[in-house]
């Protein structure tokens, strides 16, 4: 028979809206009631979960209730109806507790280990369930968890300036959930904290393998508004550049601490290797790639180098130490992949590689990108980022209209004289059109045709650059625009495109010349000028 103390404990857990907290149990284990699973780690964390929906309705840490009372913590905004769930203690040395939640097209696994204040998770999603996005969302009580990522913290008095998700205060400071994102390759731990606790999402080495977007994609990590929302976006349409992948996402974990962030390596995901989870591929059934990069023309120099692998089912990446030309991939699912060598974020070499179960595949990838050694002039660096340009240091963390941004222009830029930091990282048809580039040519330089190279890392609303040189106008090329907002979300990664504009010698003259860049697009611009047709620059050069 249940003790009076335990009955009171369960009653409190079942009334999350009415009760401010659930006393933290001291022993590792779980109990069940008519519609609840209550799991204690034995180290100060007690989780209460509805059996019917698998919503987490209480996160009690050291006798502090962290869960937002009005809504749960769950996959997406909840699994809804049609969920079946089970709970069991596994027959391993730790008696790991496993909660499995299943509906058509989706399974969510939760694991709890003794004396670890961690909720280990994995998510399986198939195309039997069509979802616009896939995320794990922890909704925390902001009166207890009162600190979020600053750029995503919505303060009292802010008003919406774009849709309902970009906000601004009276001083022109902007905030948005989108500005909490960091590139996947840098995002193995993110979270929030307060004097009560630290709550962090920790992504394992394979946590992004079934996501889309590649190593430099970024997505929402946090929003502090009516609640403190902590998210792991597995797939979304937020400036999406790949088709969704389906299968097992994870492992990943929700880790609670006294405040400080854990390191990703401090969590032990290895027990997943012994689980039989839908879609999960253990390391024993994977292979790897051990490779060498050949760079005969020293294109890479001392740049940051990443080698990435992708196919329709999975994606992986690994960093290459500065100056090194060898790499080893993570453990990968068997299959044939496109391998890409990135100089910072610029693809400079590709290869096809086949990964075989239980084997290490040897692969050489040649850097085939040809960098022009001596252009007439160059603006920026060829690295598939706008780094070094005007406002590039701010664009990931604030809206282009933010009062902390430098004025966008329009500008006139003196090639070969002005610093790159004067040139805007983006051009918006309704904000800084046109951009003029002045430059001088010698008799010899003006006597033959030249090529203007423009690299665009992202375009939106069908935008591309229209080029006029003195009195001559180039044919307008096709756009490679994304389908949604990008720049105002703090995103500069889209469908990278390098354009070559061949300029006849008849358009050039000895001495002073002017190139005028304007935005070409058949799309209609909305009232908000930074949502107008626009592009993000990588670099420009005249050869």
Q: By CB neighbour count within 10 A (0-12 exposed, 13-18 middle, 19+ buried), where does 435 fall?
A: buried
| Exposure class string for 532-541: b at 16+ Cβ within 10 A, else e | bbbbbbbbbb
Per-residue pLDDT tens digits for 282-304: 999 999 999 999 999 999 999 99
Helices (DSSP H) in 180-292: which residue ranges? none
449 CB-near residues (< 8 Å, 6+ apart): 502, 503, 504, 505
Blockwise average pLDDT, block size 10, the chain, 543 residues: 34 34 68 95 98 97 98 95 96 97 98 98 97 97 98 98 97 99 98 98 98 98 98 96 97 98 97 98 98 96 96 98 94 99 98 98 98 96 98 99 98 98 99 98 98 98 98 98 96 98 98 99 96 99 99
Count the Cβ atoms, other than its own, within 10 Å of residue 143.
14
357 CB-near residues (< 8 Å, 6+ apart): 285, 286, 287, 334
The domain spanning residue 431 has which CATH number? 2.60.120.260
Q: How far apart are CA 397 and CA 403, in angstroms?
A: 13
Structural domain contains residue 487: yes
Task: Give the SS3 label for residue 33.
Answer: coil
Cα dihedral sign for 38, 40, 44, 45?
negative
Do 163 and 124 lie in one domain? The reply is yes
Structural domain contains residue 91: yes
Residue 9 CA neighbour count, 13 Å, CB half: 22
Q: How far apart are CA 347 and CA 390, in angstroms?
A: 24
Cα dihedral sign for 238, 244, 246, 250?
negative
Structural domain contains residue 37: no
Please tell me what DSSP assigns to residue 529.
Answer: G
How many structural domains is the chain composed of?
A: 3
Structural domain contains residue 20: no
Structural domain contains residue 304: yes
Q: What is the pLDDT of residue 304?
A: 92
Report the greatest alpha carbon distance in the chain.
98
Q: How far apart are CA 531 and CA 212, in angstroms?
A: 24
Q: Which domain holds residue 362?
A: 284-366
Task: Give the SS3 label for residue 264.
Answer: helix
Q: How far apart are CA 523 and CA 26, in angstroms?
A: 61
Structural domain contains residue 14: no
Closest CA to 17 of 74, 58, 45: 58
Count the Cβ atoms, other than its own, within 10 Å of residue 18.
8
Q: How far apart are CA 468 and CA 56, in angstroms?
A: 59
Q: What is the pLDDT of residue 10?
A: 32
Q: Mind spelling out the 3-state secondary structure of 16-32?
A: CCCCCCCCCCCCCEEEE
Do 411 and 390 lie in one domain? The reply is yes
Do 513 and 384 lie in one domain? The reply is yes
Do 296 and 256 lie in one domain? The reply is no
Closest CA to 127 of 263, 259, 306, 247: 247
Please tell me what DSSP assigns to residue 77.
Answer: T
The domain spanning residue 149 has which CATH number? 2.70.98.10
Do 326 and 442 lie in one domain? The reply is no
Cα dihedral sign for 145, 146, 149, 155?
positive
Q: How far apart are CA 392 and CA 406, in angstroms?
A: 10
Structural domain contains residue 72: no
Out of 244, 274, 304, a domain closes at 274
Q: Which two tokens stand for residue 270?
A: 């290895």
Do 226 and 332 lie in one domain? The reply is no
In this structure, the dihedral spanned by the alpha carbons of residues 248, 249, 252 and 254, taken in order and rounded to 10 degrees, is -110
Do 101 and 132 lie in one domain? The reply is yes
Task: Give the SS3 label for residue 503.
Answer: strand
The domain spanning residue 348 has which CATH number? 2.60.40.1120
Out of 366, 399, 420, a domain closes at 366
Q: With beta carbons less than 8 A apart as the criterion, state whether 365 and 526 touch.
A: no
DSSP H or E run through 441:
strand 435-441
∠ CA 139-315-288, nearest 5°, is 125
Q: What is the pLDDT of residue 108?
A: 98
Structural domain contains residue 64: no
Q: What is the mean pLDDT of the chain?
A: 95
Do 456 and 341 lie in one domain? The reply is no
Please tell me what DSSP assigns to residue 7.
Answer: H
Closest CA to 400 of 485, 478, 499, 273: 485
Place of tokens 């979270």: 191
Do 200 and 86 lie in one domain? The reply is yes
Q: How far apart are CA 20 and CA 5, in angstroms?
A: 17
Q: With beta carbons less than 8 A apart as the criterion, state whether 176 and 489 touch.
A: yes
Out of 222, 254, 274, a domain closes at 274
186 CB-near residues (< 8 Å, 6+ apart): none
Do 224 and 251 lie in one domain? The reply is yes
Do 94 and 225 lie in one domain? The reply is yes
Residue 66 CA neighbour count, 13 Å, CB half: 36
Q: With beta carbons less than 8 A apart as the criterion, state whether 535 and 519 touch.
A: yes
Do 525 and 496 lie in one domain? The reply is yes
DSSP H or E run through 10:
helix 4-13
């Amino acid at each position: 028979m249940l003790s009076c103390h335990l009955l009171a404990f369960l009653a409190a857990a079942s009334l999350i809206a009415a009760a401010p907290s659930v006393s933290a149990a001291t022993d590792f284990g779980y109990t069940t009631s008519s519609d609840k699973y209550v799991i204690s780690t034995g180290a100060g964390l007690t989780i209460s979960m509805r059996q019917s929906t698998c919503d987490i309705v209480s996160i009690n840490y050291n006798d502090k209730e962290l869960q937002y009372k009005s809504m749960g913590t769950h996959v997406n905004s909840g699994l809804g109806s049609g969920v079946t769930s089970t709970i069991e203690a596994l027959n391993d040395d730790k008696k790991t507790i496993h909660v499995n939640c299943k509906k058509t097209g989706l399974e969510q696994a939760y694991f709890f280990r003794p004396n670890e204040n961690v909720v280990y998770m994995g998510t399986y999603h198939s195309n039997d369930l069509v979802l616009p996005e896939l995320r794990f969302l922890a909704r925390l009580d902001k009166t207890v968890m009162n600190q979020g990522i600053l750029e995503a913290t919505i303060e009292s008095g802010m008003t919406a300036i774009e849709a309902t998700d970009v906000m601004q205060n009276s001083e022109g400071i902007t905030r948005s959930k989108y500005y909490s994102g960091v590139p996947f390759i840098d995002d193995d731990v993110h979270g929030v904290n307060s004097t009560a606790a630290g709550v962090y999402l920790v992504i394992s080495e394979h946590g992004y393998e079934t996501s889309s977007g590649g190593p430099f994609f970024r997505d929402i990590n946090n929003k502090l508004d009516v609640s403190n929302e902590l998210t792991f976006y597995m797939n979304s349409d937020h400036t999406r550049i790949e088709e969704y992948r389906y299968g097992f996402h994870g492992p990943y974990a929700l880790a609670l601490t006294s405040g400080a962030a854990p390191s990703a390596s401090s969590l032990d995901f290895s027990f997943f290797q012994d689980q039989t989870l839908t879609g999960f591929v253990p390391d024993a059934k994977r292979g790897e790639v051990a490779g060498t990069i050949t760079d005969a023309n020293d294109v890479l120099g001392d740049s940051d180098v990443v080698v990435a692998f992708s196919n329709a089912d999975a994606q992986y990446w690994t960093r290459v130490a500065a100056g090194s030309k060898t790499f080893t991939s993570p453990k990968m699912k068997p299959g044939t992949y496109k391998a890409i060598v990135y100089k910072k974020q610029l693809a400079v070499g590709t290869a096809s590689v086949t990964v075989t179960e239980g084997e290490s595949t040897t692969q050489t990838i040649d850097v085939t990108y040809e960098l022009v050694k001596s252009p007439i002039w160059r603006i920026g660096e060829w690295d598939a980022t706008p780094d070094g340009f005007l406002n590039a240091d701010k664009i990931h963390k604030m809206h282009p209209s933010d009062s902390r941004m430098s004025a966008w222009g329009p500008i006139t830029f003196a090639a070969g004289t002005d610093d790159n930091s004067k040139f805007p990282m983006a051009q918006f048809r309704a904000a800084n059109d046109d951009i003029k580039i002045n430059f001088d040519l010698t008799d010899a330089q003006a006597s033959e045709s030249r090529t203007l190279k423009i690299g665009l890392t992202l375009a939106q609303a069908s935008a591309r650059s229209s080029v006029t040189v003195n009195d001559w106008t180039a044919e307008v090329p096709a756009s490679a625009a994304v389908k949604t907002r990008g720049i105002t979300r703090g995103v500069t990664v889209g469908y990278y495109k390098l354009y070559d504009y061949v300029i006849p010698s008849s358009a050039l003259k000895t001495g002073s010349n002017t190139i005028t860049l304007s935005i070409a697009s058949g799309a209609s611009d909305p009232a908000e000028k930074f949502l107008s047709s626009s592009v993000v620059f990588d670099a420009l050069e005249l050869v």
